[in-house]
Amino acid sequence: MTESAMYIDAEVWPEGSLEVLSQHEVDLLKSKGAGGLYTLLRRCLLAVLNSGNQTDDARQMLDTYSDFEVRFIQQDRGLKLSLLNAPAAAFVDGVMIRGTRELLSAVLRDIVFTRDEIFESGQFDLDSSDGITNAVFHIVRNAKLLVLPAEVNMIVCWGGHAISREEYDYSKLVGYELGLRRLNVCTGCGPGAMKGPMKGATIGHAKQRIRNGRYVGITEPGIIAAESPNPIVNSLVIMPDMEKRLEAFVRTGHGIVVFPGGVGTAEEILYLLGILLHPDNATQPFPLVMTGPESSAAYFEQIDEFIGATLGPEAQGRYKIIINDPVLVAQEVNKGLEDVLEFRTRHGDAYYFNWRLHIGREFQLPFVATHESMSSLDISEDLPTHILAANLRRVFSGIVSGNVREDTAESIERLGPFQINGSRRIMSMLDRLLAAFVAQKRMKISGSDYDPCYAIK
């Protein structure tokens, strides 16, 4: 083993999820050519090894560790990873942190399973709604997210990585109150409002002597380099794309708490509201609370105003906004879980996976942000509200991609910002909302000034 201030070489046994691979699977992971998985694997492993780093500049992180390499050593008792020029922060006295080893194994597990069983097996029709939902189920089941006997206690926490210290501390207080009520936490696994609730919940669980608390992180390859998994995550799942990631959140979670954030958080809110606004989901209980400290009140007023003006009062009726009251947030969510439990029991639906929730293909098919796809989005006044929500969700998704994905950023540097068109009234409100995100520094951590990757027409 060799070591320097920033880099370390080491041989590591994966732990927890996958230690044995076939020769064919290892060959795929080694392959850097067409159809090979090495580039994807290297990206995700590097993100895990970079846990705790506060940068959200994927290109900077990949450049810093441009000499990082992964090699495989197959032995009779399993697979060993040889890591060259890995981030030294993943090691203590030359030995990899155990939680990091577990997350490395989760990366191997999900990348191999998704390629072999989801995309290559022919078992799933990924153009159909049922086929996509079935694929999501199989990925999270293989990742052991579906624990039996199941309880209605998984709270998904959404929020930005670029938040203020006060907002971060508040998210910890909410997580603490959730933990005291024996609730588990699922987030996007990154820093900021994705880390705070988990950190708070660990203290609540410790006080309740809960030794099997679950801190679930759900991510996808496009953003993992910009939002490295935080060190508290003890169950990591890498979904193949953003849409399957969002579906995994709402199918496995029982309620959602939204903290302040930026475009990614707005995307998540519109995704869920668009689903809940579908007539088939009108009677389905799904507790949704937006919350932050007093200093975040204006942020949620802006979000609420935008939702009311675009999706209407029915959408506003699907959530509650609670400012500066962590106890009330936890109580409200806990009360909502009683309705979820009663509904699923009455309808015979699983506690561990929400099969009854209708999610249309407009929310499931992967949206690839390009200049053409962004400019052709239909943002019209006369669309059904759930379709308008789906298209607005894609707008925010494209901006997220422009902010954090290095390939999208390179395209914008070559071709200029995305052009976003639509109803003059909606475009005016969208412009104001995005300008507020920029002014509040909710777009990026890295860099002093934010250069928008979009232009509102």
Q: Domains of the chain by range and CATH?
A: 7-123 (3.30.1850.10), 143-347 (3.40.50.450), 367-456 (no CATH)
Instruction: Using 70 as the pLDDT threshold, list the residues of the chain that sit under it.
Output: 1-5, 16-20, 52-58, 75-78, 444-448
pLDDT of residue 219: 95
Give the C-alpha separation, 371 to 401, whole Å.
12
pLDDT of residue 7: 84
Tell me the pLDDT tens digit for each residue of 71-102. Answer: 988 766 567 889 999 988 889 988 889 989 89
For the entire predicted model, the pTM comes to 0.92
